[in-house]
Amino acid sequence: MVIDYGSFYDVPRWDKLFQDFFGPTSLSQRRVAYPPLNISETEDAIQLRAQIPGISMEDIELTLTDKNLVIKGERKAPEGKYFRQERPAGAFQRVITLNVPVERDQVRATLKDGILAIDLPKADSVKPKKIDIAVS
């Protein structure tokens, strides 16, 4: 006879339950990573797409280190009296850890329709290499 205890591990912990219940209820009060982004990988590159509407390229700073890509910027708060404000304003920073070395000189970034597209080509040393077999 096999008893599966796996379902007991899915029971929420009481401290987490109370934290969620008594925590912030609105999106503006919760900490949300900004800008939201998608990271994908092909055989040749890492592709990053960040959603940054209403910000010009001059207000964004990209820094590439050995293991990280840093996206910094500032969304200026529009002036006026608001009854509700859900779009975040102010300075932001995201640090993306890169698991593979990239070709620094070939990195390309474009901003179109509020989407920041960053293409990070992988270094040749980490790309798969086909090895030919010699017949003897």
Q: Read off the pLDDT of residues 64-96 as tens digits, 9 standing for 90 and up.
A: 998 899 999 998 887 888 888 787 788 999 999
Helices (H), strands (E): how many in the chain? 1, 7
Query: Which pLDDT score is estimated for 125?
Result: 82
- Quote the pTM value: 0.69
What the chain holds in terms of domains, given with CATH numbers, is 36-77+88-127 (2.60.40.790)
Neighbours of 9 (CB within 10 A): 6
6 CA to centre of own chain: 32
User: In this structure, what DSSP letter does residue 112 have?
Assistant: E
Tokens of 96: 């993306």
